[in-house]
Chain A
Amino acid sequence: MSHSGGFTSQDSATKISVGDAITPEDVSASSAVASDETARYALLLGDDCLILAQRLGHWISRAPELEEDIALGNIALDLLGHARFFLTYAGSAWGKTEDDLAYFRSEEEFRSCRLVEQENGDFGRTIARQLLFSFYTHELYQRLVRSADTTLAAIADKALKEVDYHQDHAAQWLLRLGGGTDESKRRMQEGLESVWPYLEELFADVEPTPTLAEQEVAVLPSSLRDAVLTRLSSIIEESGLEVPASKGAFGADRSGRFSENRGFILAEMQVLARQHPGATW
């Protein structure tokens, strides 16, 4: 293996057969009901995936190459699937559907991190955002598969196989853009600089997560920090780029301070559903 990170370019997105993998409908049909605290945790995880899927979906028909239209679309589709799992499960605590939660919550009620709310920017910036988020979720799901909550564990198990490919995709592009041309190196470095301030927020321990972590239901975010940073630093150095110096943007505590972008994202996502409240689609 020529580079760090534990994956090779020969890995393929299709190497994993879906087989008897769970579906969002399975979660909905199961008798599992989340506690209020677990639901709040699932909502936080689900919102991150939903907003990022929303962002990535914009690339379809705009990517640098046809294969990337497909790859970014595929990743967006995976993330949307993860969001549907988490939101469906969260909704079980409150008698709400995934669509109630996705379309009829306001900006203040979303729990997404600011990283996923960042604009796509150029391809380098999108890859930088993918790199950070996929490395974080990979570490997270690797531990969440051992959750005492069987639904969360099943979701993590399904998502992990897909995130494995997402981080490979991001890392392969990091290496290519970092080691490609002067322009790609500059743009990729800029991409990293622009998203890095929002990395720290992912490791903030905000209730109910610490309580759930004690019950071995959730993964304590701060416990992921060292592993994620080590792996990110290693792949960034290998790409010939520099690990940004930023220590994190102020307000990195997941306490509800959201980016300016969130309102625009939700306005677009929710517009049609809200024009026809109660309608079936």
Chain B
Amino acid sequence: MSPEKPALRAVDSPSETTTHEAQAAAEDARVGWEQFQQLIEEDQRVEPRDWMPQNYRKTLVRQISQHAHSEIIGMQPEGNWISRAPSLKRKSVLMAKVQDEAGHGLYLYSAAETLGTSRDEMYQQLYTGKAKYSSIFNYPARTWADVGAVGWLVDGAAITNQVPLCRASFGPYGRAMVRVCKEESFHQRQGWEILYTLSHGTEAQKQMAQDAVDRFYGPALQMFGPPDDESPNSQQSMAWNIKRFSNDVLRQRFVDMIVPQAEALGLTLPDPDLKWNEERGHYDYGDLDWDEFFSVVKGNGPLNHQRLAHYRAARDDGAWVREAAAAYAAKQAEASPRSALLSA
């Protein structure tokens, strides 16, 4: 089922309707459009039962499901450190964190479902590779310090992106983001704390921390998406109050935030062009490797294949469990009216 179908469902198929009904439907759509425009202009929330343009629905389903997929695939790089976390407390925090990612996936899939696309359908899009997820998760979490860098930089970039999304015009999305952001700020803090402990630890630990930051800095900055002049969808998203700030504005906000944090960590950000610009009141930063970014998006990252294979294996291995649960539920449903009848 394509994402447009739910929208079409609101207006009955023309072949089954009389001209009169078609006119009434068109009138409904016109009124709906006006109400939608008014909600957007007044910066209010659009709710699932409200009329909305097909492209608005489609854009949201794509964005929310992509975000959900990122949470799900994002469980893998850090999840692979649960078994090796170097202290029981860190193990416990990491486990809780990765579990939160699964929870975020759930809220987001649920928000997207209110737009008429089922969770199974979204799973299928991820499974077949049709849907994208955040490219950053195609990079390996090679060392324990990577868990820190993912928390500090990757979750930090995610929060910068997501805080404005709490005000997204689509109600269920905005509300899901409120909860996600609360947990993400805990994630970022635990990442920062891991790096702080490492950078104040032994020489080997400090090197481990610096190496992780060196590898994650660029890809984290790219999480905001391509530069504004190469981001065609952003304008429409901003006009619909889904997106509030442009990619470059958010990227700048993030850079301004992490520079002093890196200083506090005693770590260096791997960008020789990074310096304070008095005139702009912001940090200048160097060019990012966009060729690499687009190449990773297209499937050539270090781990694109493995991440998807891991996801597919989990879905495949669990198929018999889901079938059993469905069969059991069906038997229970079948049994209950009958048992009521027999006991009557």
Tell me the chain B residues, 207-239 only, with Cβ under 8 Å from chain A: none
From B75, B85, B103, B323, contact of A180 by CB (8 A) = B323
When the two chains form their complex, are residues B321 and A123 in contact, meaning their CB atoms are under 8 A apart?
yes
When the two chains form their complex, are residues B314 and A62 in contact, meaning their CB atoms are under 8 A apart?
yes
Closest to A55 in B: B83
Interface stretch, picked from B4-12, B94-102, B128-136, B168-176, is B94-102
Report the minimum CB–CB distance from A125 to chain B (whole Å).
12
A225 in contact (CB, < 8 A): no
Report the minimum CB–CB distance from B144 to chain A (whole Å).
6
B328 in contact (CB, < 8 A): yes
Sample 17 A-B pairs with CB under 8 A, ordered by A number: A61-B314, A62-B317, A65-B318, A66-B72, A66-B102, A70-B102, A73-B99, A76-B95, A98-B88, A99-B87, A181-B327, A187-B320, A272-B85, A279-B201, A280-B197, A281-B90, A281-B194
When the two chains form their complex, are residues A64 and B321 in contact, meaning their CB atoms are under 8 A apart?
yes
Report the minimum CB–CB distance from A184 to chain B (whole Å).
3
User: Chain A residues near B205 (CB, 8 Å)?
Assistant: 276, 279
From A54, A60, A64, A273, contact of B317 by CB (8 A) = A64
A87 in contact (CB, < 8 A): yes
B-side residues, CB < 8 A to A, are 72, 75-76, 79, 82-92, 95-96, 98-99, 102-103, 105-106, 109, 144, 194, 197-198, 201-202, 204-205, 310, 313-314, 317-328, 331
Report the minimum CB–CB distance from A9 to chain B (whole Å).
10
Complex CA gap A176/B314 in Å reads 19
User: Chain A residues near B83 (CB, 8 Å)?
Assistant: 54, 57-58, 268-269
User: Chain A residues near B103 (CB, 8 Å)?
Assistant: 70
User: Chain B residues near A65 (CB, 8 Å)?
Assistant: 318, 321-322
Complex CA gap A60/B310 in Å reads 12
Complex CA gap A24/B90 in Å reads 13
Report the minimum CB–CB distance from A263 to chain B (whole Å).
14
Interface string of A50-85 (1 = CB under 8 A from B): 100010011011111111111001101100110110
User: Chain B residues near A184 (CB, 8 Å)?
Assistant: 320-321, 323-324, 327
Closest to A102 in B: B88
Report the minimum CB–CB distance from A113 to chain B (whole Å).
19
A175 in contact (CB, < 8 A): yes
- The A/B interface has a contact count, at CB < 8 Å, of 143
Complex CA gap A58/B109 in Å reads 23
Report the minimum CB–CB distance from A273 to chain B (whole Å).
5
User: Chain A residues near B318 (CB, 8 Å)?
Assistant: 63-65, 68, 123
Complex CA gap A61/B72 in Å reads 7
When the two chains form their complex, are residues A60 and B321 in contact, meaning their CB atoms are under 8 A apart?
no
Determine chain B's interface SS by DSSP, over half rule.
Answer: helix
Which of A65, A272, A281 has most B Cβ within 10 Å? A281
Please judge, given known A-B contacts A66-B72, A76-B95, whether A176 and B86 are in contact too, CB under 8 Å: no
User: Chain A residues near B331 (CB, 8 Å)?
Assistant: 179
When the two chains form their complex, are residues B95 and A181 in contact, meaning their CB atoms are under 8 A apart?
no
When the two chains form their complex, are residues B317 and A122 in contact, meaning their CB atoms are under 8 A apart?
yes
A-side residues, CB < 8 A to B, are 24, 50, 54, 57-58, 60-70, 73-74, 76-77, 80-81, 83-84, 87, 98-99, 102-103, 122-124, 175-177, 179-181, 183-184, 187, 268-269, 271-273, 276, 279-281
Complex CA gap A192/B111 in Å reads 39
Please judge, given known A-B contacts A69-B102, A269-B84, A280-B197, whether A180 and B79 are in contact too, CB under 8 Å: no
Closest to B320 in A: A183
Complex CA gap A66/B76 in Å reads 13
From A60, A103, A123, contact of B82 by CB (8 A) = A60
Complex CA gap A268/B82 in Å reads 10
When the two chains form their complex, are residues A84 and B79 in contact, meaning their CB atoms are under 8 A apart?
no
User: Chain A residues near B144 (CB, 8 Å)?
Assistant: 272, 281
User: Chain A residues near B310 (CB, 8 Å)?
Assistant: 61-62
User: Chain A residues near B328 (CB, 8 Å)?
Assistant: 175-176, 179-180
From A24, A57, A276, contact of B95 by CB (8 A) = A57
User: Chain A residues near B322 (CB, 8 Å)?
Assistant: 64-65
Please judge, given known A-B contacts A73-B99, A73-B102, A181-B323, whether A81 and B84 are in contact too, CB under 8 Å: no
Complex CA gap A280/B194 in Å reads 10
When the two chains form their complex, are residues B204 and A276 in contact, meaning their CB atoms are under 8 A apart?
yes
When the two chains form their complex, are residues A60 and B98 in contact, meaning their CB atoms are under 8 A apart?
yes
User: Chain B residues near A84 (CB, 8 Å)?
Assistant: 88-89, 92
Please judge, given known A-B contacts A60-B79, A65-B318, whether A177 and B98 are in contact too, CB under 8 Å: no
Complex CA gap A115/B107 in Å reads 35
Report the minimum CB–CB distance from A185 to chain B (whole Å).
8
User: Chain B residues near A273 (CB, 8 Å)?
Assistant: 86-87
Closest to B204 in A: A276
Closest to B198 in A: A281
User: Chain A residues near B319 (CB, 8 Å)?
Assistant: 64
Complex CA gap A63/B106 in Å reads 14
User: Chain B residues near A81 (CB, 8 Å)?
Assistant: 92
Please judge, given known A-B contacts A65-B318, A69-B102, A123-B321, whether A80 and B84 are in contact too, CB under 8 Å: no
When the two chains form their complex, are residues B92 and A77 in contact, meaning their CB atoms are under 8 A apart?
yes
